[in-house]
């Protein structure tokens, strides 16, 4: 498979001696055109990679902030085609564009159709939080054909065997969920995160697959802490919250750009 934009961005960050900054936003939040502008502000502030969320009505790992953002996106009528529009706009910024989606919407849309549509929009890969490698044969074939990275999750509860199985199926990076819980801002990064990254590195040493940490990171100091041992820092709820708190979109864009700048400073300070 040819080198993807995601692989290039992760390699560039590693060559610069820093972690990559990965930002998440549901497509269509607060509406499709506005979500494109929010993504642009995130990239202007320093995000290397953008996870474009496919809004879903029954999320399992999303906390209240992202659930609220996704509900707004669904209420605005966001479709899978709209997700591809946001991906295309994201790719146009120069950032690597990913989709984060639960498996059911992809399966209902059509697995190969989804992979082809995402690749045509300039997407680099997909994060599938509720899909495990043993059940991903159809996705493996479709993503390979479309030239997309596959990103699966590992967690503090993952056995050594599960870590090896999951990382072997990943490309681009492996998503290390820092804790057993849902997304959202927290006062401190879970102490399980560093241990999980260390354990995952033990099974990815030969491939040098990047490891990115998500769930609960909300400040520049936390970003710097995670960047000291991970290859990427993933932030989602903090971006959504700034749009939710803003009295209007323009104010929200300023807050999002400033927040991205703070986080980018954190990942570069290691």
Cα–Cα separations (whole angstroms), residue 47 to 17, 104, 154, 158, 267: 16, 28, 23, 29, 10
pLDDT at 133: 96
Q: Is 168 inside a domain boundary? A: no
Residue 162 covered by a domain: no
**Residue 12: its H or E element:** helix 5-15
Task: Tell me whether residue 201 is in a domain.
Answer: no
State how far Cα 15 lies from the chain centre.
Answer: 21
Percent of the chain with pLDDT over 70: 93
What's the CATH number where 264 sits?
Answer: 3.20.20.70
Whether 62 sits among the annotated catalytic residues: the reply is yes
Catalytic residue, candidates 48, 51, 149, 194: 51
Residue span of the structural domain in which 38 resides: 5-151+216-268
- Whether 67 is covered by a domain: the verdict is yes
Residue 94 included in any domain: yes
Domain count, the chain: 1
In a domain, residue 202? The reply is no
**What average pLDDT does range 35-43 have in this prediction?**
98
Q: In sequence order, what DSSP letters do the residues of 184-224 get, joined into one string? A: ---SS--THHHHHHHHHHHHHTTTT--EEEESS--SHHHHH
**Residue 270, pLDDT score:** 65
pLDDT at 187: 45
Task: Report yes or no on 192 lying in a domain.
Answer: no
Cα separation, 98 vs 11, in Å, equals 16
Res. 182 pLDDT band, cuts 50 70 90: very low
- 184 has pLDDT over 70: no
Given 31, 44, 62, 250, which residue is catalytic? 62
Q: Is residue 211 part of a domain?
A: no
């Amino acid at each position: 498979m040819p080198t993807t934009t995601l692989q290039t961005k992760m390699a560039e960050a590693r060559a610069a001696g820093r972690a990559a900054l990965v930002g998440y936003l549901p497509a269509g939040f607060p509406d499709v055109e506005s979500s494109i502008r929010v993504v642009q502000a995130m990239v202007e502030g320093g995000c290397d990679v953008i996870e474009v969320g496919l809004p879903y009505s029954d999320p399992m790992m999303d906390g209240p902030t992202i659930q609220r953002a996704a509900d707004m996106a669904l209420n605005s009528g966001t479709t899978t085609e709209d997700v591809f529009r946001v991906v295309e706009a994201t790719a146009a910024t120069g950032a690597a564009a990913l989709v984060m989606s639960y498996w059911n919407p992809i399966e209902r849309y059509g697995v190969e159709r989804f992979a082809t549509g995402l690749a045509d929009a300039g997407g680099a890969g997909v994060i599938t939080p509720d899909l495990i490698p043993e059940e991903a044969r159809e996705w493996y074939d479709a993503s390979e054909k479309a030239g997309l990275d596959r990103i699966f999750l590992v967690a503090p509860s993952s056995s050594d065997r599960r870590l090896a199985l999951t990382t072997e199926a990943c490309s681009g990076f492996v998503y290390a969920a820092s804790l057993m819980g849902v997304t959202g801002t927290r006062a401190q990064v879970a102490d399980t995160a560093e241990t999980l990254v260390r354990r995952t590195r033990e099974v990815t040493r030969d491939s040098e697959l990047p490891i990115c940490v998500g769930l609960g990171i909300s400040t520049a100091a936390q970003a710097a802490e995670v960047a000291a041992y991970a290859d990427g820092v993933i932030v989602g709820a903090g971006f959504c919250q700034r749009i939710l708190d803003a009295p209007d979109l323009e104010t929200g864009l300023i807050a999002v750009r400033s927040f991205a700048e703070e986080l980018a400073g954190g990942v570069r300070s290691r």
